[in-house]
Amino acid sequence: MKTIKGPAVFLAQFAGSEAPFNSLDGMCQWASDLGYKGIQIPTWESSLIDIDKASESQTYCDELKGKVESYGLQITELSTHLQGQLVAVNPAYDTMFDGFAPKEVRNNPKARTAWAIDVVKKSGTASRRLGLNAHATFSGALMWHTMYPWPQRPNGLVEMGFKELANRWTPILNHFDEVGVDVCFELHPGEDLHDGISFERFLEATKHHKRANILYDPSHFVLQQLDYLTFIDYYNERIKAFHVKDAEFNPTGKQGVYGGYANWKDRAGRFRSLGDGQVDFKSIFSKLTTYGCDVWAVMEWECCIKSSAQGAREGAPFIQKHIIEAAKRSFDDFAGGETDENQIKKILGI
């Protein structure tokens, strides 16, 4: 067993143009004051990290790491969720996802993909320079628009889709292997990797690449009505990162899993602040601890009702309350651990 590290916070949903959210120093002070011990840094926020410089300069990374540690914090992971999304984009989503890319590669899908792959690789190098073992990202999606099989999918579409996804990600995974960092895909609706079955298909297509791993976020499984506890039983060896995010699913006579046209607060499935939703975090922390998952518990805040300020204040103590100090010995060790064969035979009557 292993004690989960934390509490930590993903900075993406809080970063902004006003202090303290517009600088690394400001966000570190804010997070530290709220009781967090770690931060997950979104690489697309240039006010927090220069990923080009981080991939090239050990001095820059040492200074960055030192700055974070001066506030009593650690960097948990770097994130390339937005850039990872752009590794694979179906043309149906070109216009909407172009906003994630710099202006010089917009309206140019091939250039945009090449840029995204380059940034994700640079983030792997930067992660190693920062002494990190895991990296958070999205897989992107070529097949999501065919997720529901109507119109009927032609034979071979899924197979070709995963083959192409693997073709794009395998060079990235190989680079991460060279630098000794795990790629942790957040299984998320809108991505080709969104549940256990799709992750297994991807593993098969990448020949079970050891760097293809999982960022476990139960909130997305609640919205899919997937058994997020049994998921841990299946995939605990691949869970290398953890987002602590709450959600609820309240179907009505008018909407269910596919009720996505309503505003967030009016949907059957919606994200909530920690403790306000339906996720059984007590059981999740127990399972992850029992399986020895070496992860940071990182709060990702996305609530449709509660303010971000309140959510951030409540997040650290909520996570801290759920972290289990893994037992170093069994409660019944006093019974004796040495083997006495004669004694055992006597007890068995043989």
For 257-268, what is each residue's pLDDT tens digit?
Answer: 998 899 999 999
Percent of the chain with pLDDT over 70: 98
DSSP 50-94: -HHHHHH-HHHHHHHHHHHHTTT-EEEEEEEHHHHHTTSB-GGGH
Q: Binning pLDDT at 50, 70 and 90, where does residue 330 land?
A: low
Query: What are 173-200's pLDDT values in tens digits?
Result: 999 999 999 999 999 999 999 999 999 9
SS3 call for 106: coil
- Domains of the chain and any CATH numbers: 5-348 (3.20.20.150)
Rounded to whole angstroms, the Cα distance separating 105 from 108 reads: 5
Q: What is the pLDDT of residue 340?
A: 87
**Per residue in 294-327, pLDDT tens?**
999 999 999 999 999 999 999 999 999 999 999 8
| pLDDT digit string, tens, across residues 126-185 | 999 999 999 999 999 999 999 999 999 999 999 999 999 999 999 999 999 999 999 999
Residues 275, 48, 242, 325: what is their CA dihedral angle, to the nearest 10 degrees? -80
